[in-house]
Amino acid sequence: MKIFLVGFMGCGKSTKAKQLANLLACPAIDIDAVIVEQQGMSIADYFAANGEAAFRELENEVLKSLDYPGTCVVATGGGLPCFLDNMQWMNEHGITVYLEMTPPQLVSRLHNREKRPLIKGMDDEQLLAFIVGKLEERNPFYHQSKLSINAFDLDAKVLLEEIEKLKA
């Protein structure tokens, strides 16, 4: 079983991937971390050097070319589901889970903005407006997930129980 976690930046995809993988005794794969390792630079630096379009192509390539073990939990980048055929591909190859949060909840969690190229330099008010706008664009993709769940203060065991219900 491959579990793909999707959602806006700051919703906890990387953290929940590690927690779920621990419960399932399987690997956690972070697409952004794989890209950083392969490219030898941060996501922010890659964005600055190559632009968003090149990054989205690279994300697509990494998503589809990884050698996934039989069971694993994959943390995707926040925008990954919204480009090319990524969401369709993930739905065909595993269980997609949208870790949903409200815009104010996301603002409260996004502290280290300088490392995130899309929100670098924004204050809370600008960030809130940005998140509201981006969620309008991205929710049609995120909501194609097989499971949508409120991720604020979400316990990994509860998340696993909800995923298990999908398999039943």
Confidence category of residue 114, pLDDT binned at 50, 70, 90: confident
Inter-residue contact 6 to 76 (CB < 8 Å): yes
Closest CA to 9 of 143, 101, 141, 94: 101
Average pLDDT taken over every residue of the chain: 96
Class of domain 2-160: alpha beta
The percentage of the chain sitting over the pLDDT mark of 90, rounded to a whole number, equals 92
Confidence category of residue 113, pLDDT binned at 50, 70, 90: confident
State the pTM of this model. Answer: 0.95
What is the mean predicted confidence (pLDDT) over 21-36? 98
Tell me the pLDDT tens digit for each residue of 79-101.
999 999 999 999 999 999 999 99
What is the mean predicted confidence (pLDDT) over 16-36? 98
Closest CA to 78 of 50, 39, 119: 119
Scanning the chain, the segments in alpha helix (DSSP H) are: 13-24, 31-39, 43-50, 52-65, 86-93, 103-109, 124-142, 156-167
